[in-house]
Chain A
Amino acid sequence: MRRFLLEGLTRRPLTETPPVPEDAMREELGRALADASRQKLGRSLSIRQVDAGSCNGCELEIHALSNPFYDLERFGLHFVASPRHADVLMVTGPVTRNMAEALRRTYDATPDPKFVVAVGDCARDGGCFAGIYAVAGGVDAVVPVDLHIPGCPPDPTALLKGLLALLDDASARGGVV
């Protein structure tokens, strides 16, 4: 173990420079965020991930955000275990009818102000599963959505861009840094 610890001290970090958020995402957020919530949330966000019916592909890439290359926590973003500790719900998948109530309850358990980030193509409108008896639709069929990150699945860089846009927006308009 000592070897790995020493290596960690001497080797250059693997962590990469953060990507720049895209304008389209900023615009979507600009429309969505109320000033009050921006002021309250500041530059540190707690994220609760909810799988509402995904194929687990999006989860794998969300996991990758915590690896040393992307190192999500350096931006003040971290995943929490309970919706009661969360500022952001990160929801994946077409929302299945069997998960709709669980998602709604998770949303209700998250204190205000809160954001909902829908991740993946399925989360927008159900994607390739849309219109079937078992699927309620995209995430906004069940809870209001503030930001959508497309991709099948979105890669970690795309996820980072979306989350950084959320942070920038939260702080640029009067948030506490």
Chain B
Amino acid sequence: MTKLPELAWTRSRDFRAAPFPVSSVTRSGWSSIAEALGEGRMTLLSLWGEPEAVCMALHDAEARRVAVARLAPAKGGFPSVGRHHAPAQRLERAAADLFGLTVEDAPDARPWLDHGRWEISQPLGASRPHAGTVPYSFLPVEGESLHQVPVGPVHAGIIEPGHFRFTAQGETVVRLEERLGYVHKGIDRLMQGATLERGAALAGRTSGDSTVAYATAFAQAAEAALGAKVPQRAFWLRGVMAELERLANHLGDIGAICNDAAFAMMLAQTSVLREKVLRAAQTAFGHRFMRDRIVPGGVTSDLDRDGEAQIRALLEEIGDRFPLLVELYDNTASLLDRTVATGRVGSGLVRRFGAGGYVGRASGRDFDARRDLRYSPYDMLAFDVPVRDDGDVNARVWIRILEVQKSCALISQLLNMMPKGDILAPVRPTGKPGEGLGLVEGFRGDILVWLSVEADGTIRRCHMRDPSWFQWPLLEAAVEGNIIADFPLCNKSFNCSYSGHDL
């Protein structure tokens, strides 16, 4: 077993309260971490570039602690982590595209986010005018009577753009290769030099369906970097918003998955409940998605009696209606025929990739950042985390069904125990630079935000890692051996974010 370098491991209750202690490592130390990741001794939380360094965030699940390792690359190159640990490959390709870093011995050196269409190359490094488009070579597939089906970036439904290259034998998918990056908006570069206020707004627009989760993760990172105090009530309000967001997304997606199996009635029913969640959010917090409601230092919108009554009425209605829908799902054989045993992902893959959310929990990875890397208000609440082992579309639907019920119970607890007081405390620059880590369980999985702030409180570097980074590659595995016609169903059961991934 390779010997790991000295790392400053930090427990979850500590890293959100103070600037994060980064461990500087040597090239050999970096490589031994990569090998340890490959051996499954730790989980990779993220990998990102900086103007003069490259960083990795690591999770030691048993001890419930995290560490960040930083390597200052000599001559702009660093030893590939992806060579030992496949989940790092796309992150490395993205860091190479944005910063012009060289990934030494990279197993896959193709560009990822850079499609050759930007005005400049290496936009966050030593940028220069772009040389132009180079044809993208998909991985070769060899065999008898294979054909390819290219899909996207513009898809047939109302969804985000991305390209899927299917290689099929008859109807059966032999390989799916994804090509993403179409909605790359340069958020990393927009963050550089921005104020925390603008940073929070950008974070909330990284993946629209997770605006609350992103804004919370960003706020956590900023509060940690600056050692800021947040009023108790603000934490509780963040919790209510986060659970409403989870409810809205799960309800919408449960219906949408069934709709992709041609069972439209479920979508009609769950979309009514989803609309009611959004309307309750509008009444309670003034915005259907609760966008721009969470900022560093607290929240900008308090909950009054009307809002609370509306949310309680909503919980009651979901409590009445939702069990009937679950029964409908479970008693419709034609629907289960499509979802059971379709798009299976094994638990080994899920663990190796550290896939979060329902993708991980439907395949036996018992991890939820709300419980395992706890943060307020969840450290004060009682809840359990549903896990299944079957790993198919049906299991992912069931995890979401159970999470709807858990979220309702959590909101009740939050409303019953809500402390009184302020909701926002000013966040001031400390006069010296600082770095902070935020980690939040969004509906899709754990969202990581790494933030470095300058002495004047402006942003030096902000890296946001969507849960989709570790779920997209598993979709390629899930669809293998299934028929092309089941791809929409598999895809919807993952519901990865394109925008959160492409940034």
- A-side interface residues, number (CB < 8 Å): 47
* A61 vs B498: C-alpha distance when bound (angstroms): 17
Residue B269 CB within 8 A of the other chain:
yes
Contact present for B268 and A67 (CB under 8 Å)? yes
User: Once the chains are docked, how many angstroms separate the CA of A56 from the CA of B158?
Assistant: 10
Q: Is the CB of B272 within 8 A of A14?
A: yes
B186 touching A135 by the CB < 8 A rule? yes
Return chain B residues, CB-CB under 8 Å to A99.
153, 161, 182-183
For B118, give its contact among A56, A102, A134 (CB under 8 Å): A134
Give the distance in Å from the alpha carbon of A4 to the alpha carbon of B271 in the complex: 14
Task: Kindly supply a per-residue 1/0 record for chain A positions 49-67, scoring 1 wherever the CB is within 8 Å of any chain B CB and 0 otherwise.
Answer: 1111111111111111011
Binds A, one of B207-215, B302-310, B421-429, B453-461: B207-215
Determine whether the beta carbon of B499 is less than 8 Å from that of A54: yes
Is B275 an interface residue, CB under 8 A from the partner? Answer: yes
Find chain A residues with CB under 8 A from B269 CB.
4
Q: In the complex the two chains form, what is the Cα distance from A56 to B204 in whole Å?
A: 12
Q: Is the CB of A55 within 8 A of B272?
A: no
Min CB distance, B110 to chain A, in Å? 15
Q: How far apart sit A61 and B184, CA to CA, in the bound complex (Å)?
A: 21
**By the criterion CB–CB under 8 Å, are B207 and A55 in contact?**
yes
**How far in angstroms is the closest Cβ of chain A from B165?**
15
Count of A-B residue pairs with CB < 8 Å:
141
> Would A132 and B186 count as touching, CB distance under 8 A?
yes
Please determine whether B183 and A53 come into contact, CB atoms closer than 8 angstroms.
yes
- Contact among A60, A69, A132 for B272, CB-based, below 8 A: A69
B229 within 8 A of A: no
List chain B residues, Cβ under 8 A from A6: none
Q: Beyond A63-B252, A69-B275, A153-B289, is A50–B184 a contact (Cβ under 8 Å)?
A: no
Decide if B185 touches A56 in the complex (CB within 8 Å): no
CA distance A68 to B268 in the complex (A): 7
Q: Give the docked Cα–Cα distance between A83 and B157 (Å).
A: 11
Contact A132–B182 (Cβ < 8 Å) = no
A4 touches B265 (CB 8 A): yes
B54 to chain A, nearest CB (A): 21
Residues of B within 8 A of A3 (CB): 324
Give Cα A102 to B160, complex, Å: 12
B288 proximal to A (CB < 8 A)? yes
Q: Are B208 and A132 within 8 A (Cβ)?
A: no
Q: Are B160 and A82 neighbours in the complex by a CB distance under 8 Å?
A: no
CA distance A50 to B120 in the complex (A): 26
Interchain CA distance A43-B159 in the complex, whole Å: 26
Residue of B nearest to A47 (CB): B158
Q: Tell yes or no: B102 within 8 A of A by CB.
A: no
Interface size on B, as a range, is 35 or more
Interface centre among B123, B183, B497 (most CB of A within 10 A): B183
What is the CA–CA distance of A99 and B179 in the complex, to the nearest angstrom? 13
Residue B202 CB within 8 A of the other chain: yes
Question: Chain B, 120-146, contact with A by CB distance < 8 Å: what is the 0/1 string?
Answer: 100100010000000000000000000
Which of B156, B186, B278, B497 makes the CB contact (< 8 A) with A81? Answer: B156
The answer to whether B291 touches A96, judged by C-beta atoms less than 8 angstroms apart, is: no
Q: Does A39 contact B (CB under 8 A)?
A: no
Q: Which of A110-164 contact B (CB under 8 A)?
A: 128-129, 132-135, 152-153, 155
| A56 and B265 within 8 A (CB) | no
Residues in B neighbouring A82, C-beta threshold 8 A: 156
Residue of A nearest to B204 (CB): A55
A100 CA to B160 CA, complexed, in Å: 14
Q: Give the residue name and chain of the A residue nearest to B115 (CB).
A: A98
Contact for B158 among A1, A63, A97, A133, CB less than 8 A: A63
Distance of A153 Cα from B205 Cα, bound (Å): 10
Distance of A129 Cα from B271 Cα, bound (Å): 30
| B288 cross-chain contacts in A, Cβ below 8 A | 61, 155
Q: In whole angstroms, how far apart are the Cα atoms of A63 and B157 in the complex?
A: 10
Interface-central residue, A59, A60, A98, A100, by most chain B CB under 10 Å: A98
- Which chain B positions have C-beta within 8 A of A53? 182-183, 185, 499
In the assembly, what is the distance between CA of A152 and CA of B271, in Å?
A: 21
In the assembled complex, 16 residue pairs joining A and B whose CB atoms fall closer than 8 Å, in A order, are: A51-B158, A51-B161, A54-B183, A58-B208, A79-B158, A94-B185, A96-B183, A99-B153, A99-B161, A99-B182, A100-B117, A128-B198, A133-B120, A133-B189, A135-B185, A152-B291
Known: A79-B158, A128-B190. 10 other contacts (CB 8 A): A54-B183, A54-B208, A57-B205, A57-B289, A63-B271, A67-B274, A98-B117, A106-B154, A128-B205, A132-B186
